[in-house]
Amino acid sequence: MTSSDELQKRRSSAVARGVGSVINSYVDSASGGTLTDVDGRRWIDFAAGIAVTNVGNSAPRVVEAVRAQVERFTHTCFMVAPYESYVAVCEQLNALTPGGFEKRSALFNSGAEAVENAVKVARHATGRSAVVVFDHAYHGRTNLTLALTAKNMPYKHRFGPFAGEVYRVPMSYPLRDGGLDGATAATRAIETIEKQVGAENVAALLIEPIQGEGGFVVPAKGFLPALRTWATAAGAVFVADEIQTGFCRTGDWFACQHEGVEPDLVTLAKGMAGGLPLAAVTGRAELMDAVHVGGLGGTYGGNPIACAAALAAIETMRELDLAGAARRIGTVLGDRLRAVAARDPRIAEVRGRGAMLAVEIVTPGTLTPDPSATAAVSAACHAAGLLTLTCGTYGNVLRFLPPLVISDDDLARGLDILDAAFG
């Protein structure tokens, strides 16, 4: 088999430099909680392809469903000749997402495309244009979603000008806002909106219930409910971006459920289809159905193979109670991280929920971010065969997103590597 070194050489003269990779090893195969590279090395997976393979890689039901579908038909375009699985995925999403009200869904290919479409729906339904987003937010890499994303490097740098009518307001970030309670942090955000945008101009308030790329920032309790209440009063559409938090990751089907928040629209992707590209906007029927026939779509959105995979992945999550699995993983992982934090003063905070946990790394005794220590710990994990990811506005957050089907054994071995990587 071609080695990773050889592939890396071929890559540098074939693949655009702008597309990066976390590791230089090339994957040969992957299953529940592990990857095997072309050099024969086994990796423990604490990344799940950035919270995608919640049901594991090549999950048995997903493989079977994809195989059956690929033999029946591969693509007709739902806008040309519709098929059942698209409808069935929408039915599942309408039933699973928070809120007992009547819902509709539309399917797309990527998270960014789902976010773009949530903004289209909110603007169309309200007749307003402003979109409110938060500090540290991440919503994608297309032009509109780059405007919604907060961080310059590497996402936005020299890619402007960006779409207009996007307004950024302060997030609740307990470690870095002096521990503001949720209600106070919400008041701060709302005052900014009312002063700088005007409540009556807001089409959508868009928020990740736990921020992903921005650093696994968990807002203080009460922050999301207060914003939800404000959006209702203002006639603005409350959009929860559950692209990274969704599908059992945080120990519930969706992170909003933790505080009983019912968004008007939810954006979904990643975990929903066991690794196949599929995304969705799900929400209030009167908003979704406000758009004229033909106003939403795309060639591949809701591709039949991806829909078959999603139905199988959702069935797997139900059958194996992967929300429960995420809570169990969170307990084991959290206990270990807190034990490491107790002896290592570089860890300012252990945070997250369920199987979406992280540590924020600083210069001891301060809140000064230490991205180089973060990169060094991550590199030590990689050297020992544990795939970890970093994130955060300051690049100083080490995050853990194991597949929810990871075995106790692999989880324990991964944690031993992680523990040792802190020295």
- Per-residue contact flags (x/-) with ligand PLZ for residues 42 to 71, judged by CB under 6 A: --------x---------------------
The amino acid present at 48, given as its one-letter code, is A
Q: How far is the CB of 279 from ligand PLZ (least distance, A)?
A: 6
**Residue 141 in contact with ligand PLZ, rule: CB under 6 A:** yes
- Compute how many residues bind ligand PLZ; rule: CB under 6 A: 16
Residue among 124 and 156 whose Cβ is closer to ligand PLZ: 156
Q: Is 208 an interacting residue with respect to ligand PLZ (CB under 6 A)?
A: yes
d(CA 164, CA 346): 39
Closest residue to ligand PLZ using C-beta atoms? 111
Q: Tell me whether residue 49 or residue 385 sits nearer to ligand PLZ (CB atom).
A: 49
The single residue among 112, 314, 350, 362 that binds ligand PLZ, judged by CB under 6 A, is 112
Residue 134 makes contact with ligand PLZ by CB under 6 A:
no
Strands, E, within 97-197: which ranges? 103-108, 130-134, 166-169
Which residues have a Cβ under 8 Å from the Cβ of 355 and sit 6 or more positions away?
249, 250, 251, 325, 326, 329, 330, 333, 400, 401, 402, 404
**Considering the rule CB under 6 A, would residue 244 count as an interface residue with ligand PLZ?**
yes
Q: Does residue 115 bind ligand PLZ (CB under 6 A)?
A: yes
CB 287 within 8 A of CB 123: no
Contact between 400 and ligand PLZ by CB under 6 A: the answer reads: no
Cis check: omega of the bond before 364, within 30 degrees of 0: no
Report if residue 302 touches ligand PLZ, rule: CB under 6 A. no
**210 belongs to the binding site for ligand PLZ (CB under 6 A):** no
Asked if 390 is part of the footprint of ligand PLZ (rule: CB under 6 A), the reply reads no
Question: Whose structure tokens read 């994303």?
Answer: 149
- The first and second tokens of residue 94, run together, are 């309408």
Peptide bond into 161 cis (omega under 30): yes
Q: How far is CA 126 from CA 84, 236, 387, in A?
A: 31, 7, 44
Interface with ligand PLZ, residue 414, by CB under 6 A: no
Helix axes 408-421, 322-343, angle to 10 degrees: 20
In terms of CB distance, is 244 or 417 closer to ligand PLZ? 244
First CA to last CA distance, the chain: 35
Work out whether 139 is an interface residue with ligand PLZ (CB under 6 A): yes
Residue 111 or 304: which CB sits closer to ligand PLZ?
Answer: 111
Nearer to ligand PLZ, 249 or 284 (CB): 249
Task: Report the residue number, 138 or 230, with the smaller CB distance to ligand PLZ.
Answer: 138
34-37 and 42-45 strand pairing: antiparallel
The contact set with ligand PLZ (CB under 6 A) reads 50, 110-112, 115, 138-141, 208, 212-213, 241, 243-244, 269
